[in-house]
Chain A
Amino acid sequence: MVIDHDVIVLGAGLAGMRAALEAARDGANVAIVTKVHPIRSHSSAAQGGINAAIGEGDSWESHAFDTIKGSDYLADQDAVEVMVREAPQDIIEFEHMGVIFYRNEEGRLGTRAFGGASQARTYFVGDITGQALLVTLYDQILKAGVKVYEEWFATKLYMDGGACCGVVALEMVTGELHLLRAKAVIVAAGGMGRLYEPSTNALICTGDGYSLAYRAGAPLMDMAMVQYHPTTLAGSGFLMTEAARGEGAYLLNSLGERFMKKYAPNKMELAARDVTSRAEATEIAEGRGIDGNVLLDLRHLGPEVILKKLPQIHEMALDYLSIDMIKEPVPVRPGMHYEMGGIKTDVEGATVIAGLYAAGEVACVSVHGGNRLGANSLLDTIVFGRRSGRAAAGYAKGTPPNRGGEDVLRAEQERLQQLLARSYTGETCAGLRLELATMMDEKVGLYRSDAGLHQALEALRGFRKRYENVAVGDKGRVFNQALTFVLELGYLLDCGETVIRDAIVRKESRGAHTHVDYPERNDADWLKHTLLTLHRDREEPEVSHVPVTITRWKPEVRTY
């Protein structure tokens, strides 16, 4: 089937739905293509809150400075300025849509403290802020009547004459492959957490958007910047929100010490995430951990605060570790959480490819640079989701409808048929993914080294070869997840390659990229972004650099 729209949004998390809503408001014929129902999107797992400088005594400049300092000065300051200046109106808009934000005694929006912030400027709904935003936005999508192609899995971007003209997608329920033509495509397909094991991310976070755009020729920027969250649950690796520390929880080592006093004497537990995660890793490495974990202690907050403001993590610790955090501290450790890098866009979400836009975690504007502050990711999704939706709708207005593409559809059908026809050689998709993800955590994790990174690249080459032998363990058409898992593993390999290559290139330590061979930040040589671009018929990406945009905040030594 060939279907035409003005704008196609790939992904139905906060960024995708916000983009679609804005494009619809702008009069575009917009549709969302998503591999899971919108409500299942991983935005719902964001717990702690969303940042904006609204309150008296706060200012956008302060929010901008905290974000830039948090980014270890790798964020583009003009982009950060856009985000933080527009933050208040976007949050108020969500309040008008119905989000039940926490209020203070005057009935006004109330805040909580968060890491790396000089003010309490995080707005929240208990510890289900992402979910509260997501369901409200989904209901707005219903109200606006936006078409959603739900459980449609994107396999390729349709490119014509150097422009992006649509998406090829597999309808899971029928097994049919369709061409969705559009004047503009917004990639908002979320993160790539499954590249790492363990990770806080859902099983659906497989880097689809990065790979699709990369394969279409869009540059990926600063992919080495992979955030490890300081508090992920021992064992399962589930997220224990930073809001716990925002509400006053302590991090303790095996001696019962609040060890953050050594690493961030001023902000203590509320230092930026990269700093806190490294501190924990140091404690554990020096023998002051407990079975590879440190302790998150909430007991002094009391049952009232825990049950009212942090009910979800209370439930999770109880469900998955049988620990009641009202009575006992919870073992946590740093765990892979977020990709700061992504498809390079400008502040309108536009990529270098005509008709191709990106927003949310998959995009790199760049507002997070080397390290994202907690509660800035939800903000990123709704500000740049909105802006990309508007920009794409505007672009579509001046663009004639696309024709053709049937050959691309046929070629994709052919490719999937060949994939299905492979016979089993002993290589399993899950086994290979686990090896890849474990290797990434070991060699391209919190600490990196030249030797390790080169080993990683070598390993990745090996995985790519073995990937060619992975058979699809199901030959049917209806809801063939074995097929989509193999395709997802392909996406993850592209993500892995770009993360490793970027990490190899960056010969300094900045933000989340801690290079043991180059332990210092080097502003003289490395105050710049790295772009990886895959040219047609080439196996290896071209590496290039663009300078970081510095407006008024000159790089300083970063302490908390």
Chain B
Amino acid sequence: MKVAFYPGCVSKGACPELYVSARLIAEPLGLELHELVSAPCTGAGVLSEQNRELADALNGLTLAMAEAEGADLMTICSTCQGVLSDHNFHLKNDEARREKANATIADQGYSYGGTATVKHLLWMLFEDIGIERVTASIKRKLTGLKIAPFYGCYILRPSEALGLRERPERKTYLNQLIALLGAEPVEYRGATKCCGFPMLTFNRDKALAMGGNHIIEAKEKGADLLVTPCPLCHLNLDGQQPDAARVLKQDIDVPIFHLPQLLGLAFGFEPDELRLNHHVVSTKGALEKVELKV
């Protein structure tokens, strides 16, 4: 299945392990990745709040590129998903906004017709690839692992632009997937909460406490690891975890996996291939539970 692949800045920057693992799992899932190499950053909501017209133009350009590819746009980042869904929702439904965005990008040879579909890999697993294909690709059941899902805000809220009203089941895909891979999903409140990343530069200690609290809650419910479809959550939950532990004056030490890393493990890839050895919080303990080493 051909998809217009939008990896997002972070997977090509601070979280290269996400990009690498996403590329690895494409084949067993039958995904033909046509990477939108010239597509700009979504602005992560920061640009949308300061200058909607600018963000409409930038995201309109990306959506037009996907349209030109003739395939659904696939993200691997909840934040990219949220921002693109939001702009797509408005550009589809508000003709004036779309015309304005098109006027800005017209001389680049692009025009957005309002037909693109933006889907996170997580959604595609259930809605396009199908769980039969996912199940067929499993080579290594993750039995014995207790895994806490961490969705990230922008893949859940606001629900209208994300199509969650029509498809409320999207709120449970991560839990379903964990079970499908043979592991046990951990039920905890933090699963749908904010990791704190958007506030990290404004109010560092509070942002760290926010993410740290969720990991601690999951740990107390027995989680061996957290899995997230959002690399920005990963940056805060993994990259800043030692600092969060310091702020909360509490040991945390729970590894955070990217969604494609978890899939990759189940599909039989080795931890090193998935760069699970390049995390701030060691993945060793969790991997040992499924008799793997890093």
Question: A and B touching (C-beta < 8 Å)?
Answer: no
